[in-house]
Chain A
Amino acid sequence: MPGGIKFFGEGLPYQKTSDCKGRLIVVEGTDGVGRSTQVELLEQWLKVSGHGVVTTGWTRSKLMRKAIDYAKSGNMLDRMTFSLLYATDLADRLENQILPALRSGFIVLADRYTYTAWARDSFRDPVMKWIKDLYGFAPVPDLVLYLRIDVDNLVPRVIETGGMDYWESGMDLHLADNLYDSFKKYQRKVIEVYDQLAEEYSFEVFDARKTVEEIQNDLKACLAKVL
């Protein structure tokens, strides 16, 4: 991060971040859009090109994974508590993985970032400001690669690659009385917010309806320019 790290809000006053020379590159997009596949391919490509790369992913922190799985499996958790679990997950990865890697000059590829939390939760009005404030400790990434898709193209993809689940369908929001309709309504809203965030935070937008190879080439072309 040339020139040191900028934060979304108050940052981490007790951490020295002026010496972070690496780059934080985020891949965003809704559930089932093909993010993880692209991140894997990018990681390979960057390594072959001679860059030090560290990949990190949403809910993958050692500290929080169990608690998040436990929370997801239950039937008693509200969205706000969930938001806090996810924020803790990011904070743990940030301080124990991302910042050390940036200090050592690595490229950090993040599969999902704060925007995921904002897209999932911020269409509920009173929560919008709160959840943005909550992530005030997070660094603004150098680049956000956004894989964009529409709901109608998303549905067959998701059915082919693992199916809809309760949370990705937003069933807890009672938007519909069945998984399929709820999935469509919920994902449509999530994508809407992603699109707003894309403007607000100047994402690089990619058409995720293309083939894996085509998307990968687009991503590489964009990254090559930045690096």
Chain B
Amino acid sequence: MTALLSDTALIFGRYARQTLRSRFQILFGVLMPLLYLLFFGPLLTGLPLGGAGDSWQVLVPGLLLQLALFGALFAGFSVIVEKQLGVVERMRVTPVSRPALLLGRVLRDAALLVLQAVLLVLAALLMGLRAPLAGVVIGFAFVAVLTIALASLSYALALKVATPQEFGPTINAVSMPSMLLSGLMLPMALAPGWLDVLSHFVPFRYLVDAVRAGYVGDYAGTAMLYGVLMAVALTLISVTVGTRVFRKAGA
């Protein structure tokens, strides 16, 4: 257990330093949601979005999870590069804990995406967002948890596929429908019945609804409950799958 913790810290440190060396990497991820915030957000002010709170309280939670969704799902690309450099193999012949190779990486991703989420919320405050602090903090927690879950799956996939050409399209095939069907941009309250029903099969929908509830100060409702349950389930499954793949690959 102590080996797992110290090895996780070691791997986290390696990749955190790698991230800190590249300011570009730190800021680039926040660019897409920031563009939505600046050029899409203002279109929504004044529209009836069918829920509590103003348009910023609806949009910003969606953008936060969009940030986590895309940032985490594409995290695996780094493993593909490292596979080609031989770094993955070199680490696998050492006695380092196999789960630590995964956990150190996903914790780095969670830290990076929460930092980007903070930057995004600061920008949103300038644009006119007003939300309770506890809700905002809950939003960051959801970003961290979603990142841990999706980055685990992304790394597992990256370890399994033979080429980057297989990885990119697979990730796109997951990320785009997930974004559209979970009501990240506009709440599913606006959707016709069939679309609303369909979106209930997309786990991210519950996470978005929970963060939106947090942003209007509703911490004890069913939206928050379902969001937390879904986030926990998603994380348990994803980390289990991820560690299994990392263990097996190191056999």
Task: Answer yes or no: do A and B interact.
Answer: no
